[in-house]
Amino acid sequence: MFAPERGLGDTVPDTPEGSGTPYDQEPAAGFLAGPGFGTLHGRREELDLLAGLLTDERERLITLTGPAGVGKSHLAHAAVAARLWRGAVPVLWTDLAEAAGAASLWSAVGAATAERAEERIGTAELLVVLDNCDPVATDVALHLAALLRACPRLKVLVTSRVPLNIRAERLFLVGPLPTGEGSSAERLFTAGVGPYYRAGLAEGDGPSVVAQICRELDGIPLAIELAAEAVGSEGPHAVLKRLRDGAPAGGRRLRDAPARHGSVASALQWGARPLSTTERALLDGLAVFEAPVGLSEAGRTAGLEREELVAGIESLVRRSLLLSRTGPRGPEFRLPQPVRVHYRTQLADRPAALADAHDGHADCCAHFAAGIAEGLRRGHDVAQLLSLVETRLPDLRTATRHLRGRGDHTAALRLLTALEVPLLGHGLAPEAVEELAESAAAHRAEAGGPLTAQALLAVARWRLEHGSQRRAEEALDAADAAAAGHPGARARVAALSGELLRRRGDPVAADLLLGSALEGLCAVGDTLGAAMARRSQSLLRAALGDPEAEQPVLTALAEQPAVPGPSGTPEVMSGAPGGGGEAWADPVSPVAVRATLLAALARVRGTLGRTDEAYEDVRESMRLLLCTGGPAEVAEALETLALVTAHPGDEAQPEALARVLACAESIRRRHGLAGAEHPELSAVTERLRKGLDAGVLRRSRRGAQGVSLHDALIAGLFAPGPRRKPAARTTGPVAPHGLTPRQHEIALLVTEGMTNRQIGTELGISEWTVTNHLRAVMQKLECGSRVQVVRALQRARP
């Protein structure tokens, strides 16, 4: 019988005292002997499973497969060593990296032909490792199948990017290393950095930068080693920048490293067979994507029909060029970053193909954006939609730049406006507001119309929420000019302009503009636009002390479609701001609209002194915001809750109130939002500052740092409600002359000789609000001065 050469099986590696296997200690599978292999980082689970397969008599042929540079040979070496630790077995290791054909297989077992190999092995136990089998995988597959049938105790371990595709084969996929701070990928990187540059990696932001490098490289060990060797006097930041610029980072390789491992490109070119037309089309298209894509998106980008698309994807996956995973919408595929950079470099040498790839990529991103907008309108899980958008942000930025670069501002605007809610409303990419403004300006110069107006309104809304009223006004002026000839669009612009005037404190001009806007919005059937205009009207009139201030927002609530239960399908809200021309579909669900209107109703009723009703309204708003709310809406609801539950000198559980306000403040600060609109909040904050220990306030602020929108709303929902107010100071059962409870309360304080400022402090409202209420009191009592108000109330007493 053939006696194998002395090789890997001759020596069992040493292990620490008390250790059962050579890989029980960290780092996993360390203490391995063998030329060309160092410490194996991570892979504990793969190593355990593979070592078990090597002892299983039913597994005759195991093929380690995976992307170029993923560490198949290293894992094979460690697994064979672990197998030897469990029991001695003859092992023959042969490297086929330079093999020319099937004859190399027989040479590996010391024979000239297949027949002679069968004779030499016979019934003897033998483990043959065929490393780097890629160049001859197709040639040796059938010969190897015959050899396994003839030799019952032969076991073969193969490493190859492509499978052998024979019945005996058990495929073992070797994936990238896990990434993140403290991961095995990070340990591999740190170990690969020269010792004279390694010290700074553990200090300051060093660990974070290393983790980012490993994530950029998708955890591919060869790419990580190359990047680590590139770290020199410039430090890891320079390596990270090169990677993010799309350049492969590589340093001086070790002298005994194979030439094919000199770069990822060399590893990919080694042993690769020519690409088919379908495979080339798919690689061209997918090389532009950063995020994983579904089957339909891959086909849209490459311009392939279903049948050839499926065949092409299957071929690339089996060649280990594509990584596959199950995503939220089904199977997804992605080129590993080093592979992506390699094929992008090749694509750059073909400008026409590069332009086509970017066109297909932009088309996919536009289709994706439209799908997200539709999902938001239909009330789908907002958290899941936001997660999808966040994953696609690099692709969306690339697509937007490409569309603007080729002068297609219409497509750029459609993509960005469809994603206004996640990008701007939820703050996933606030920098998109400037791209939106620039594209809108370019489109306005070319065509204008409702699309430009919609984009500029999005810009104006964002600027208004972030405290830049002057720049918001500039965007509104541009939107009004773009909407010329489109009544519905102009009415939308007028409504937001009225809201701007309301926030500026110009009630007369705001009321006139909102009334005019409402007429236009109702005329074109724009339900959502009308709802937002009515919201502004109610807030404005409440500040002026109008006892009927809640009517506009109640009308808006009545006009909205019913909010369905968890299993229902919400109706799609869409108006026609284009005035019969271009359609205008808002990516807003009925749930989000209802939450916004209820928060406004709570503010109005709180201002009118109807605390219990306001409390129920704001709680219902917060429950709806748990599924739909953005930072501005959540902060507004929390502040409204604080105003409703606070009562001068008698706050219910002030620590809970401080927690709610700390959450609102943290959200506003973190998302760059303007300060709270309510002047009354400063009085509440001042009372809390005086009434609570400074340590309690510090703990509240510290606990609110980085609080999620969901957790902030939960804190608000668990905060105690308002306490019952003490009985009115008057013995009279009814307020005279139709005064509201709040107006009557203010009038009574006037009879006690209080100034407007003192009344505001007493009631926890702003002096401006007191002035407006007092003006309404004088009109109802037909009084011309504060003295006459006092006399009117005295006459009204029984």
Q: pLDDT by residue (tens digit) across 70-114?
A: 999 999 999 998 888 888 889 888 888 888 777 877 887 778 888
Angstrom distance (rounded) from CA 558 to CA 552: 10
End-to-end Cα separation, the chain, in angstroms:
123
Enter the pTM of the model: 0.80
Angstrom distance (rounded) from CA 422 to CA 463: 16
pLDDT single digits (tens) 566-616: 333 333 333 446 544 444 567 788 889 999 999 999 999 988 888 889 999
How much is the average pLDDT of 174-197? 88
How much is the average pLDDT of 310-338? 90
Provide the pLDDT confidence category of residue 7 given band limits of 50, 70 and 90: very low
Q: Taking each helix axis as running N to C, give the angle between helix 741-751 and helix 767-781, from 0 to 180 degrees, rounded to the nearest 10.
A: 90
Domain ranges of the chain: 8-173, 184-257, 641-722, 736-796
Q: How many CB atoms lie within 10 A of CB 244?
A: 12
Give the residue among 685, 675, 542 at the shortest CA–CA distance from 601. Answer: 542
Lowest mean pLDDT among 54-68, 616-630, 641-655, 695-709: 641-655
pLDDT of residue 737: 65
How much is the average pLDDT of 516-544? 93
pLDDT of residue 496: 96
Higher pLDDT, 444 or 178: 178
Give the percent of the chain with pLDDT over 70: 88
Angstrom distance (rounded) from CA 633 to CA 715: 15
Amino acid at 609: G
Q: Is the peptide bond before 27 cis (omega within 30 degrees of 0)?
A: yes
How distant, in Å, are the alpha carbons of 315, 332, 354, 440 from that of 308?
10, 17, 21, 40
pLDDT of residue 98: 84
Give the residue among 784, 794, 785 at the shortest CA–CA distance from 751. Answer: 794
pLDDT of residue 554: 94
For 222, phi then psi, to 5°, come to -60, -45
Lowest mean pLDDT among 207-221, 277-291, 354-368, 434-448: 434-448
The CATH fold of domain 736-796? Arc Repressor Mutant, subunit A (1.10.10)
For every residue of 268-285, DSSP letters joined together read HHTTPPPPPHHHHHHHHH
pLDDT of residue 571: 36
Angstrom distance (rounded) from CA 781 to CA 360: 70
Provide the 8-state DSSP code for 24.
S
pLDDT single digits (tens) 204-239: 788 889 999 999 999 999 999 999 988 887 788 888
Provide the pLDDT confidence category of residue 28 given band limits of 50, 70 and 90: very low
Most confident of 70-74, 736-740, 786-790: 70-74
User: Is pLDDT at 315 greater than 90 in this prediction?
Assistant: yes
Angstrom distance (rounded) from CA 415 to CA 396: 9
Provide the 8-state DSSP code for 113.
S
Class of domain 8-173: alpha beta
